[in-house]
Amino acid sequence: MSNTWHRGLGAKNLAALAVEKGGEQNRPLFECDDGREFTFREFWDMAGRFAAAFAKAGAVRGDRIAAQVDKSVEALAAFWACARGGFVFLPLNTAYTPAEVSYFLNDAAPHVFLVSPAKRAELEGVARAANCLHLLTLDDRGGGTLIEQSQKLDPFEHQGTGWDDLVAILYTSGTTGRSKGAMLSHGNLASNALALVETWEFTPDDCLIHALPVYHTHGLFTATNTLLLSGGRMLFRRKFDADDVMRLLPRATCLMGVPTFYTRLLQHPALTRAATAHIRLFVSGSAPLLAETHRAFSERTGQAILERYGMTETSMNASNPYSGDRRPGSVGLPLPHISVRVADPVTHVALPVETDGMIEVSGPNVFKGYWRNPEKTAEDFTQDGWFVTGDLGRISEDGYVTISGRAKDLVITGGFNVYPKEVEELIDALPGVAESAVIGLPHGDFGEAVTVVVVPEQGAVLDEAAILAAIRPKLAGFKLPKRVFVVDALPRNAMGKVQKAELRRSYASTYQ
């Protein structure tokens, strides 16, 4: 799973590239919503001192450093401390309960656990039970024992860390079983950031509004690493607020967000062409962007949101072009040095263009495997070394990738395959429909029944019979939903992805 692409970079690790690409800027790298500012040198020194604190706690090269802390520049510095010191960063969602944290600590066996001071009391016992005896604290305003201890130390940097060494373990969402730790190397992250700098044409003149969480690949790596390796800077916000973002737009050149960011901005009365004129790039990811949202944003602002495709195990795989056709509903073209194919889910033989199948990826961005899980690692790689993403999709004649859904979301009814997105797109285009989710539910005759859960636009009234009548002429009979349920909102996770597993549980007895 290694790649020789890095040879042109001298096999540098991520930290060395960050210094080379962004280390000369003396202006603020981060401007925070609490008024604090950090230049690259200040941030880099802080990361070096954090690395020294981890080393003083007994951590050695390859040891894991777990963190469940609120978003802050210091939280980012904890990751870069690992990149500098040869440690392996393990970010944990701040919403995880102590029981969930216990699983991660026991599985990853970190040497140091970094927690919010407010959660120290409830997590001390969890850490002790997992044999993680070094507990440090960090809050979102520059306080905590990590800060206190690191201020007394000189910056530390391990000189032997290279392209193929681990720098992070990110756990998957665990929607189909226990979460798995994706092992990411310096090369995985560095190659991906450089590919994005090239594709999205980032320069030192860029200024990003960073309002994403930093326990997830989107905010921790995609947004931050792209700006660091281009020499740009960030307006760093602890959370997304539409009013705040509207105030910042004149000072920024780009915004990276999830679809929810854009739906909320569309509700803001100040969103106009003039208000967005200074922004050269709006990026959306982590969950599918509705074609209707793409069209509405373009009509209001004259800007085409750029949608891309990535996942925990690979970071970014594909992107709509910066200069070129940004197609609503498509995630664009493979990034430089990355190959994407659609294959038969069983044989892994590549399929013809415009044929739905399993999306598989190969390139320097692809992770090194699952932590302490060689069986699952072997299962998710083909014999010829491609990573099986679990996403279904197709590739057009001119190379654009379209995602049809997750393999686990494929509906098999009466022996026929139904790709949810095909049905969802038809329903989403109907008047009064804000969005929809197609799921398969147990059915005595068909095995699974195609079922739709629909959210109406504000003030609209939707009728099940009318929806079915509108789409019936456009679908084969086996694809037609058996039922349509109207709800106020679809369940989503922290990154905005619709939780179809939750919908399947809620409606499981519909046909029984």
Using the predicted structure, report yes or no on whether residue 329 has a pLDDT greater than 90: no
d(CA 473, CA 378): 44
> Which among 152, 185, 218 is the end of a domain?
185
Neighbouring C-beta atoms of residue 459, cutoff 10 Å:
6
Average pLDDT of the residues in 209-223: 95
Provide φ and ψ at 330, rounded to 5°: -110, 150
pLDDT at residue 196, rounded to an integer: 97
Rounded (5°) CA angle 438-444-446:
55
pLDDT digits (tens, 9 = 90+) for 50-66: 999 999 999 999 999 99
pTM of the predicted model as reported, rounded to 2 decimal places: 0.85
- Specify if 247 maps to a domain: no
Average pLDDT over residues 194-222: 95
Amino acid at 425: E
Going by pLDDT thresholds of 50, 70 and 90, the confidence category of residue 1 is very low
Report the percent of the chain where pLDDT is more than 90: 78
- What confidence category does residue 223 fall into, taking pLDDT thresholds of 50, 70 and 90? very high
Number of Cβ within 10 Å of residue 7's Cβ equals 9
> Cβ contacts of residue 97 below 8 Å, gap of 6+?
none
d(CA 94, CA 43): 23
pLDDT at residue 24, as a whole number? 63
Which range is least confidently modeled, 102-111, 204-213, 256-265?
A: 256-265
Domain housing 485: 410-506
pLDDT of the residue at 211: 97
Burial class (CB in 10 A: 0-12, 13-18, 19+), 352: exposed
Matching residue, tokens 């029944």? 449
Question: Does the pLDDT at position 89 exceed 50?
Answer: yes
Whether residue 16 has pLDDT greater than 80:
yes
Q: Give the tokens for residue 381.
A: 């790689």
Encode pLDDT of 476-487 as tens digits.
888 899 999 999
* pLDDT greater than 60 at residue 175: no
pLDDT score of 173 more than 70: no
Written as one letter, the residue type at 151 is Q
Q: Is 149 helix (H, G, I), strand (E, B) or coil?
A: helix
Is residue 177 predicted with pLDDT exceeding 70? no
What sign for the dihedral angle of Cα 484, 489, 491, 495?
positive
Determine the pLDDT at residue 174.
47
Mean pLDDT for 298-312 is 95
What burial letters (b/e) apply to 303-327, b meaning 16+ CB within 10 Å? bbbbbbbbbbbbbbbbbbebeeebb
pLDDT above 50 for 11: yes
Mean pLDDT for the chain? 92
Q: Is 224 exposed, middle or buried (0-12, 13-18, 19+ CB in 10 A)?
A: buried
Q: Is residue 93 part of a domain?
A: yes
Which pLDDT belongs to residue 474?
A: 87
Q: What angle do CA 237, 238, 239 make, to 5 degrees?
A: 90
Torsion from C-alpha of 440, 285, 300, 224, nearest 10 degrees: 160
DSSP character for 220?
A: I
Q: Do the domain assignments include residue 95?
A: yes
Using the 3D structure, point to which of 161, 185, 209 is the last residue of a domain.
185
CA distance 439 to 504: 7
Confidence grade of residue 38 (pLDDT, cut at 50, 70, 90): very high
Residue-wise pLDDT for 315-328, tens only, equals 999 999 999 999 98
Distance, CA of 493 to chain centre: 12
Q: What is the pLDDT of residues 362-410, one digit of tens each?
A: 999 999 999 999 999 999 999 999 999 999 999 999 999 999 887 888 8
Q: Does residue 318 lie within any of the structural domains?
A: no
Residue 138 forms part of a structural domain = yes
Section 194-214 average pLDDT: 96
Checking if the pLDDT of 422 tops 70, the result is: yes
Question: How many CB atoms sit inside 10 A of residue 493's CB?
Answer: 16
Does residue 96 lie within any of the structural domains? yes
Count of domains observed in the chain:
2
- The pLDDT of residue 23 is 66
Q: How far apart are CA 498 and CA 500, in angstroms?
A: 6
Which of 138, 166, 185 is the last residue in one of the domains? 185
How large is the average pLDDT for residues 274-281?
A: 97
pLDDT of residue 501: 87
DSSP 69: -
| Domain containing residue 479: CATH number | 3.30.300.30
Residue 337 lies in a domain: no
